[in-house]
Amino acid sequence: MKTKSVLWIILMAGMACDAFSQQGDWTQLNPSDPPDARQGHTMVTLPDGQVIMFGGEGPDDYMFNDLHIFRQNNWEEVIPNNDPPPSRAEHQAWMEGDKMVIYGGQGENTLLNDMWTYDILLNEWAEEQITGLRPTPTRGHTVTVTSEGTAFILGGTDENGQKLRDLWKFDGTGFTQMDNCPKRVSHHIAVESSSILLAYSEPDVISYYQIADDAWGLASGGFPLQGYSSYIKSVNELQEEILFVFGGINAEGDESTTVYVMNLQTGEVTQRQDPLPFPVAGGAAAKYFPDGRHVGGDDNNRSFPANDNYQVLLFGGSVNGTISNATWGSSGNLLSIPDNISDDGFQLMIYPNPTQGALTITSLYKIDKISVRSITGIELAEIPGGDSPLLIDLSSFEIGSYLMQIFSGEERFIRKVMICR
């Protein structure tokens, strides 16, 4: 099954991409001493490629504040040198260098809006001392870290059970409230691509936030899910950003086995033929590098080079209504290139970019036509093609970002162009 998003956020040439190279991609791992069953926990990838897990909620509403690291196909509990943060679930976690940061969540008796860092090298916790305004205590919010290191905290559920629209920016020292999301969102998916924050909170709806303009918009597309999914972001061999979504609550309100793949460069969503081996919601996923990471990288919500040999690690969640402590791993790197995609996209160049209006397009092939579109996919102009190099003039367009669909025979290439003066 395929659906197309109206919102196309494009960096490079794009086509839909099959996520798995073969059927039967999941293997249940059997660590000798697994963590207790839980849901609403977090897992992030450490700088050395291993995975660290914090917190979560077990059966009978028991809240955890323990740490576990997955390395060499086994879980190991880590006892910090000082007192850990209060127990919690439905919080968020991310990496900043050698420190894991956690924020908010459902505590034992109240909602939280505190921030803590765990120093991996020192094996110590420290609460961040932040002055000024901060978001309302919530659970089910998201924290999305941009390539510049800014964290955006979006939505969640407050103490009255109300979903929120708030968006806050955290710059390392304090919080700033930004424009409100047009939708109330909680237990949603949120990622950043091309300086746009994408939020998926209900079936066939995308809320998108243009960071530079502090402005929201709505588009159709996305996933037929209500939330509680686990997800990772990566890049494929064409260096296109790919979002993988595992399980969650589907449109009918049931736990899902579906694996969705969105190409963030084309907006196309593909449902994998090979599902999860179980229906799950409220679990956690992270990239795991069995042989260690060979290059630098960042946290679970950011991109990694496609040539790294990673697996996806899944742990816990609600499986058929029962909280689980099962550990599953993918059979290998999830990324592959379909047969109908070659590297010809790299033989098409547009320059200068950014531009004041004049552009040169070079291609190995004759260009049939060019469609200039808004960032939300609306066609603004169609330009005749010609032989390479092709000179075009966009000086009549306003300052901003545009998508260019370039057609050559049966091929279609997509590029993002910025006009600035």
256 and 149 co-located in one domain:
yes
Q: Which CATH number goes with the domain that contains 369?
A: 2.60.40.3080
Segments in 92-222 forming alpha helices (H): none
151 and 273 co-located in one domain:
yes
Q: Which CATH number goes with the domain that contains 127?
A: 2.120.10.80
Whether 355 is covered by a domain: the verdict is yes
Whether 366 is covered by a domain: the verdict is yes
Neighbours of 36 (CB within 10 A): 14
Domain boundary among 280, 308, 330: 330
pLDDT tens digits for 353-377?
778 888 888 777 789 999 998 876 7
208 and 250 co-located in one domain:
yes
pLDDT at residue 411 above 50?
yes
Which of 157, 162, 178 shows the shortest CA–CA distance to 228?
A: 157
Domain boundary among 309, 330, 351: 330
Whether 375 is covered by a domain: the verdict is yes
Number of domains in the chain: 2
pLDDT at residue 213 above 50?
yes
pLDDT tens digits for 261-279?
887 866 778 887 778 988 9
pLDDT of residue 320: 92
Chain-wide mean pLDDT for the chain?
Answer: 84
Which segment of 59-63, 201-205, 372-376 scores lowest on mean pLDDT? 372-376
351 and 325 co-located in one domain:
no
135 and 245 co-located in one domain:
yes
Confidence of residue 235 (pLDDT cuts 50, 70, 90): confident
165 and 32 co-located in one domain:
yes
Which pair of tokens denotes residue 52? 């660290």
The percentage of the chain sitting over the pLDDT mark of 70, rounded to a whole number, equals: 85
229 and 251 co-located in one domain:
yes
pLDDT at residue 107 above 80?
yes
316 and 207 co-located in one domain:
yes
For strand 311-315 and strand 327-330, is the pairing parallel, antiparallel, or unpaired?
antiparallel
β strands within 161-246, DSSP E? 167-170, 175-177, 189-193, 196-202, 205-210, 215-219, 225-227, 230-235, 241-246
Q: At which residue do the structure tokens 């086994």 appear?
A: 74
Which string of DSSP letters, residue by residue, matches 31-55? -SSPPPP-BS-EEEE-TTS-EEEEE
164 and 291 co-located in one domain:
yes
Whether 338 is covered by a domain: the verdict is no
130 and 22 co-located in one domain:
yes
Q: How far apart are CA 28 and CA 62, in angstroms?
A: 25
Which pair of tokens denotes residue 204? 């066939």
Q: How far apart are CA 296 and CA 48, in angstroms?
A: 9
Q: How far apart are CA 21 and CA 154, in angstroms?
A: 34
Q: How far apart are CA 104 and CA 117, in angstroms?
A: 12
Q: How far apart are CA 369 and CA 174, in angstroms?
A: 48
pLDDT of residue 271: 83
Which of 331, 335, 330 shows the shortest CA–CA distance to 261?
A: 335
pTM of the model: 0.76
151 and 283 co-located in one domain:
yes
Confidence of residue 338 (pLDDT cuts 50, 70, 90): very low
Q: Which of 322-336, 337-351, 357-371 has the highest average model confidence (pLDDT)?
A: 357-371
Contacts of 59 (CB under 8 A, 6+ apart): 37, 323
Q: Residue 399: which domain range?
A: 343-419
Whether 337 is covered by a domain: the verdict is no
pLDDT of residue 242: 87
Whether 136 is covered by a domain: the verdict is yes
Rg (CA), the chain: 22
Which pair of tokens denotes residue 217? 């918009």
Whether 354 is covered by a domain: the verdict is yes
Domain boundary among 330, 355, 374: 330
Q: How far apart are CA 151 and CA 175, in angstroms?
A: 9
Whether 74 is covered by a domain: the verdict is yes
302 and 413 co-located in one domain:
no
